[in-house]
A and B are shown apart, each in its own frame.
Chain A
Amino acid sequence: MRERFLTFLSLVPALGLIALLFGASLLYGITQSLGYLPFIQQETLSLEAYRNLLVGPSAANTEFWGSLGFSLWVSGAATLLSALLALVIVTFIGERLRAGTGSLMLLNLNLAFPHLVWAIGLSLLLAQSGLLARIATLLGLIDAPAEFPVLVRDRFGIGIILHYVTKGTPFLILMLLSVIRSQTEAYSMVAENLGATLWQRLRYVTFPLVLPGLTAGSLLIFAFVFGAYEVPALLGVRFPRMLSVLALEFFRNPDLGSRAEGMAISVIMALVVLVVAATARHLTSRSS
């Protein structure tokens, strides 16, 4: 009994604080999105903000669906590309990467880089008068800055996708290396001793072991990109905007009515992210 009480007591500070802050943010977000705005004497609940966003007709409606599509496109493309790149790199040079501490340190360095700075670095690198454009000029590939392709602040979100691919791939590589380190070496060796070809080893040993982790990691990246703010704000254009950028603008709009719409967007984003994260967790718990 005393044991139980102590267990409970030890969890209270951390879990209580998280529950309090996290719960309060959810509660306030949801009630405000339902139009509960006591500071303008509006205390009735309604689904008006959601209706405005989802069915319209309103300006918010047009923007919302465009932004949702754009958010899904950017997160989806960044996630798939990162997963593919990480799988290829780990399959072909994973063994050697693992042996070289220099590579591991660089991959960790990339992880520790704040997103804000990485995005700024990319924009200095990829701008039309940036370092890459200058190298292209030197090599005679282009004659003027305007000829260099628009890779940041472009309307297809290429800059944002590039950012998350360069940040997501190292994360997935490290994750896959740790999965492989803990499992496949022996299996792979056994398979080789039994006469399996390289392809057979990949197909029947490496991929099945690595795929659950890769899927879970990819889903986490998806959730993260989908909810991110500063990178799309820095590397994106005014139209189309990602949902997080739209939500913040609505929220900061002096017109208090659009505040509820901003909150509603953030609630919808939270729901999408929760579903994705739950799937990721389900996959991880099943595989381990």
Chain B
Amino acid sequence: MQHISRITFHASRITLYVLLLAPIAVFLLHAFSVRWFYPQVVPTEWTVEPFLRQLGTPRTRMALVSSLQIGLLTSGLALLVGYPAARTLGLREFPGKGLAFLLVFLPTVMPPVAIGIGLNILFLRLGLTGTVLGVTLVHLVPVLPYVVFTLASVFARYDPNFEHQARVLGASPAQIFFGVTLPLILPGMLVATLFAFLVSWSQYLLTLLIGGGQVITLPILLFSTVSGGNPTTISVLSLLFVAPPILFILLTARYLTSEAGGYEVTVRG
């Protein structure tokens, strides 16, 4: 009995691994090969040339820069704006707390189509469409809730008495924040930041609707390449696009595996 269950376990685990890794494998096979046609299962000619050429294309570089810029700007802003609210929501009890959580929760389930076409008109009037600032602002709609939820759950396990002690000993607010608070919440803070970046990095529809074809991020470029592009180009761009998420998981592996299931909602892509 023990024996059979072990075999079932390993069989299921291997199936799971294959399923979860197959898309990455197929990108690697396409990106680093030439003339890989049906019915070859494995390419016969390998090359890094298309990969390097794609990296050298101005269009790709500009898309990478835009994506990075918007991702950094969005996560920075979200952290700044979200921190005070998350601290209060995590540490305090107050009337209307449930309502506050509900307000933060709502944008995470709202269809991006509804948010994007609704804001399109407003941003058009404000002259924000087609600008990096406009795209950053609209990215805050899905990003800010993640930051607030992640940091609020960090503060729910946080003991503010350490701060009291520092204050009693005469520390300034800045000293308390950098010397006491930040070191204590650093892991959660890092995860929140990376998370925020990743959610912004993955946005397609909101960027399309507010960027209006003038802000070209990596997903916008990738999506337009899919119709009509060849599998090699598509795969190279896909690999560039998934590199940060993969790095993110590797970097935070220890935290995530000990906190498995810490995600409240899936990453919207």
Contact = CB atoms under 8 A, between A and B. Distances in A.
B122 A229 contact: no
Nearest to A135: B41
A224 B102 CA distance: 17
Interface residues of A, number: 96
Nearest to B116: A25
Contact of B249 (A19, A108, A133, A266): A108
Given A224-B268, A230-B205, A270-B110, A114 B245 contact: yes
B104 A21 contact: no
Interface SS, B side: helix
Q: Which of A14, A19, A25, A29 has the most CB of B within 10 A?
A: A14
B40 interface: yes
B254 to A, nearest CB: 9
B41 A134 contact: yes
Interface residues of B, number: 90
Nearest to A123: B226
Interface in A97-123: 97-98, 100-101, 103-118, 120-122
B9 A93 contact: yes
Interface string A170-210: 11001111110100000000000000000000000000000
B111 A244 contact: yes
A118 B268 CA distance: 12
B263 A14 contact: no
Nearest to A170: B20
Interface stretch (B50-58, B138-146, B161-169, B177-185): B138-146
B84 A11 contact: yes
A15 B103 CA distance: 7
Interface in B199-230: 201-202, 204-205, 219, 222-223, 226
Given A4-B94, A114-B269, A121-B238, A266 B111 contact: yes
A96 B9 contact: yes
Given A125-B22, A131-B29, A22 B115 contact: yes
A28 B113 contact: no
Given A117-B238, A131-B41, A7 B16 contact: no
Contacts of B269: 113-118, 230-231
A233 to B, nearest CB: 8
Interface of B: 8-9, 12-13, 16-17, 19-24, 26-27, 29-30, 37-41, 80-82, 84-89, 92, 94, 100, 102-107, 109-119, 121-122, 137-138, 140-141, 144-145, 148, 198, 201-202, 204-205, 219, 222-223, 226, 231, 234-235, 238, 241-242, 245-246, 248-249, 253, 256-257, 260-263, 265-269
26 contacts: A11-B88, A11-B89, A14-B85, A21-B115, A25-B115, A25-B116, A27-B118, A92-B9, A93-B13, A96-B9, A105-B253, A108-B256, A109-B249, A113-B245, A120-B226, A124-B30, A124-B234, A167-B266, A171-B266, A178-B260, A178-B262, A229-B204, A247-B117, A266-B113, A266-B117, A270-B111
Interface of A: 4, 7, 9-11, 13-15, 17-19, 21-22, 24-29, 32, 89, 92-93, 96-98, 100-101, 103-118, 120-122, 124-125, 129-131, 133-135, 137-138, 145, 166-168, 170-171, 174-179, 181, 220-221, 223-224, 226-231, 234, 244, 247-248, 251, 262-263, 266-267, 269-270, 273-274, 276-277, 281
